[in-house]
Amino acid sequence: MDYNRFIEEQIAEIKKVVGNGKAINALSGGVDSSTVTVLAHRAIGNQLKTIFIDNALMREGEPKRVVKIFSDMGIPVELVNSRKEFLTALRGLTDPEEKRQAITDTFYSKVFSRLVKESGAQFLMHGTILTDIEETVAGIKRQHNILTQLGIDTEKSYGYKVIEPLKTLRKDDVRKVAELLGIPKEISQRIPFPGPALAARIVGEVTEERLETVRAATAIVEEELADSDSFQYLAVLLNDYATGIRNNKREFGQIIVVRCIESIDARVATATRLPWEKLERICRRITEIKGVNRCLYDLTPKPPATVEYI
């Protein structure tokens, strides 16, 4: 595939379709939405409005880091604080599907649809890739197409059109296009991270306090395993407590699971055989997090387990 040609064609196409109009897109910091942002910015410059929605479920420092990466590339990104809306929608929910649904509904039906309307944009740029379309059609993934997610014919209802410049590409192609567009490796080569973000790694209720715990554990795991060459690595907070001893006192503490896997495409996976010393170091650091007194390493392959815990 001629990636340079792909880039030129897509830029020309976006220019042609948007014309003198306005487009909007939501950036998550993942490789797909990042690539769409740069392509569209090259095509239409400040006729594009890019927003990053802080949903309170991101990793440590992520919203600011993503905004900075793009501002260093000369692309302005508006950071929208929607933390309260997401945390309120998640309050009291423990069922995995209900949690996922609450996040999707808050994003599309409340926050994003409001921002699109306020912007007056006639076009919405979306990072749908070929695999998303295939998996949606096959029923593997529940939602990916923004039209279905909004549950409406956007053009009829609101007068805006969805543009999906990456819909013929697979992940590897997107990474190559991203690199050619000058997107830093930190984004183009990033390990997978789920849409529901850290909420996918909390069993039970998602609260600000529990997010803080899993966020701290995630930072440790990502730092320690950055050089592991593994497909994906993560930390999960369980909804259970175990007895421990700290400063000669018994305490009932929280439990963090560390997961690190080998995989090609996340359809099947096996646990990485990490060096024992590495595991011990991760365990020591994680049990220094306030309220956490146990750390477990998950050996389960997929199947029967999935990668994420909800």
The tokens for 301 are 């392959």
Q: Which stretch binds ligand XMP (CB under 6 A): 11-19, 52-60, 193-201, 205-213?
A: 193-201
Paired strand residues for 292: 254
From the list 171, 190, 285, 302, which residue makes contact with ligand XMP (rule: CB under 6 A)? Answer: 302
Name which of 113 and 131 has its Cβ closer to ligand XMP: 131
Give the residue, chosen from 96, 184, 195, 291, that forms a contact with ligand XMP under the rule CB under 6 A.
195
Which lies closer to ligand XMP via its Cβ, residue 70 or residue 107? Answer: 107
- Which residues in the 216-235 window bind ligand XMP by CB under 6 A? 232
What pairing do the DSSP bridges indicate for beta strands 123-125 and 249-262? unpaired
The Cβ of residue 194 has, within 10 Å, a number of other Cβ atoms equal to 17
75: left (phi over 0), alpha (psi -120 to 50) or beta: beta
* Least distance to ligand XMP, CB of residue 86, Å: 15
Nearer to ligand XMP, 50 or 232 (CB): 232
- Considering only 52-60, 190-198, 213-221, 241-249, which stretch makes contact with ligand XMP by CB under 6 A? 190-198
The one-letter amino acid at 114: R
User: Angle between the 96-105 and 83-90 helix axes, to the nearest 10 degrees?
Assistant: 150
Q: How far is the CB of 125 from ligand XMP (least distance, A)?
A: 17
CB of residue 15 to ligand XMP, shortest distance in Å: 29
Binding range to ligand XMP, per CB under 6 A, among 168-176, 178-186, 187-195, 239-247: 187-195
Residue 11 CB, nearest distance to ligand XMP (Å)?
Answer: 26
Describe the crossing of helices 31-44 and 3-18 by its angle, rounded to 10 degrees.
60
Residues 233-292 that bind ligand XMP (CB under 6 A): 266
Q: Are the beta carbons of 197 and 55 closer than 8 angstroms?
A: yes
* Sole binder of ligand XMP in the list 192, 244, 291, 301 (CB under 6 A): 192
Q: Interacting stretch for ligand XMP, rule CB under 6 A, among 71-79, 178-186, 189-197, 279-287?
A: 189-197
Q: Smallest distance from the beta carbon of 16 to ligand XMP, in angstroms? A: 30
Residues that contact ligand XMP, how many (by CB under 6 A) = 11
Instruction: Give min distance, CB of 261 to ligand XMP, in A.
Output: 9
DSSP 161-198: EEE-TTTT--HHHHHHHHHHTT--HHHHTPPP--TTGG
Give the range of 54-62, 80-88, 194-202, 235-243 binding ligand XMP by CB under 6 A: 194-202
End-to-end Cα separation, the chain, in angstroms: 37
Number of H helices, E strands in the chain: 13, 9
The answer to whether the beta carbons of residues 104 and 149 sit under 8 Å apart is: yes
Q: How far is it, in rounded angstroms, from Cα 53 to Cα 31?
A: 16
Sheet of 161-163, strand order: 77-81, 48-54, 23-26, 123-125, 161-163
Nearer to ligand XMP, 7 or 166 (CB): 166
Residues in the site for ligand XMP, rule: CB under 6 A? 192, 194-196, 200, 232, 266, 302, 306-308
